[in-house]
Amino acid sequence: MMKTLIWFRQDLRLADNLALCEAFAYAKSALSSPIKVNNEQVEALYVVSTEQWRRHDVAPIQIDFIERHVNILAKGLATLGVKLHVVHLPLFDDVVEWMPSFLAQHQIEKVFATQEPEINERQRDEKLLKLGLPIDFVAQDCIVNAGCVNNLSGQMYKVFTPFSKKWREITAGMAIAPLAVPKPIAAALPEPSAIVFDAEKKSSHLWRAGEGEAKRILDQFCSQSIQDYHLERDFPALDSTSKLSPYLAIGVISAKQCLASALNRFPEALVDDTSPAKTWINELAWREFYRHLLVAFPRLSKEKSFNEKGDSVQWRNNIEEFSAWCEGRTGYPIVDAAMRQLNQTGWMHNRLRMVVASFLTKHLLVDWRWGERYFRQQLIDGDLAANNGGWQWSAGTGCDAQPYFRVFNPMNQSSKFDPDASFIKHYVPELKDALLKTIHQPTFTKDTQMFDDLFSDKQAKSVNYPSPIVEHSFARKRAIEVLSSLKR
């Protein structure tokens, strides 16, 4: 008896999973008689590639989050009558060598898997197809498939605004209807044993796991917060963002589910520019823009700047300054608080991602690839497309990037978006008794300690916080001179 296989990758969910639904449909249609499908008709696969993950700098906290969701997935599949095979193969090339024998051993007639936009993943899949293996790669990682949002010349947009306009036109004409979890294909299986990855992990316990939890967060955000998102999204002390990115990154929830929930609350959001949901939906469009770019321009997956002139920038790459940035001790409280949030939680507020990326690449003139890699090694929501896109935007090397001469002033960002310094004081507790003015306007000195007027003499003796690592006006002028090579 020939079987069907569903190969899970970055789609660790049962709901709105087209690959899963097509696998079930194929298994049922393949039967030559109306007998009931048995438990061997459909099987599932997840491959743990720890060495590939290490080379891709996947964060230990994200690996832990993935492991938790693979366990949840295995239990959910068991209720549908499907066994999940979890196989450890270090590299993607090992998958290519191993797959033919696995399919033969398990008598697999057809495989269904979700397409992935990253180049190593696409190369792996192309090698599998060249072997003649019966695999259908299903396009569902975006709401609108890569290659379908093009300009009048049939080319991928290189500017976000016209891309987003076209994307909204296309999505407005689509039926945004997420797929339900398919009905069981066979009798339920016993609860599977615990799955443990042989990999370095860091606890992700601050983030609840499960499709149900992700859907609850989404529904709560759309019913309570989305209408004020455009007003509050830039303030890190407020709980005003959806915090769905960890779930989207590994496919616990789909972008289509997110859009459907937003449209359920604000049906006009794709066609009415005054809709309260427009700003958040625009974030979904940014996600798709960067994923489409990965497919259209494979060099982005190879640590190359979109603007080729970016590869000749003379970065300073001072290791000590980079370490200070990583550890949250630059002497700029808003930067340090953001980096400590990242290091402690595996997540950072989006406004602050722009602030710290601009600071590293422009104030310190450290190669954006250093920052991108450090983020990837820490983030629970690590995603190559979004991470690469965000870093190249900040550095001025990317597609539709921030101009090289625009240098975020961290002091203005601090006073504007954390006016009472509540976020800063939470992550930089040594400043809990500092004056607001001096938190937002740190004075550059050549000492290793903060400016004299921040604390009383008695307080100063017990506080260890550095002077700003570089003076803003000097850094801005230097950055503009060095990065002027990016002029197009």
Residues known to be catalytic? 283, 286, 315, 350, 368, 391
Q: How many CB atoms lie within 10 A of CB 185?
A: 21
Helix (H, G, I), strand (E, B) or coil at 240: coil
**Per the structure block, which two tokens stand in for 58?**
């996947």
| Residue 1 CA from chain centroid, whole number | 40
Alpha carbons 138 and 145: distance in angstroms, whole number: 10
Question: CB of 470 within 8 A of CB of 364?
Answer: yes
Closest CA to 362 of 325, 396, 320, 319: 396
Pairwise CA distance, residues 129 & 320, whole Å: 47
Residues 436, 440, 446, CA angle at the centre, nearest 5°?
115
Residue pair 466/331 in contact by the 8 Å Cβ criterion: yes
Closest CA to 295 of 158, 162, 147: 147
Q: Is 370 helix (H, G, I), strand (E, B) or coil?
A: helix
- How far apart, in whole angstroms, are the C-alpha atoms of residue 315 and residue 368? 9
User: 133: buried, middle or exposed (CB in 10 Å: 19+, 13-18, 0-12)?
Assistant: middle
In what side-by-side order are the strands of the sheet with 3-8? 83-88, 42-48, 3-8, 108-114, 135-138
Contact (Cβ atoms closer than 8 angstroms) between residue 469 and residue 364: yes
Letter string b/e over residues 254-284, b meaning 16 or more CB atoms within 10 A of that residue's CB: bbbbbbbbbbebbeebbeeeebbbbebbbbb
Q: Could you give the angle at the alpha carbon of 266 between the alpha carbons of 260 and 268, nearest 5°?
A: 100
**C-alpha 118, offset from chain centre:** 13
Largest alpha-carbon pair distance within the chain?
87
Picking from 263, 249, 279, 292, the residue whose alpha carbon sits closest to that of residue 163 is: 292
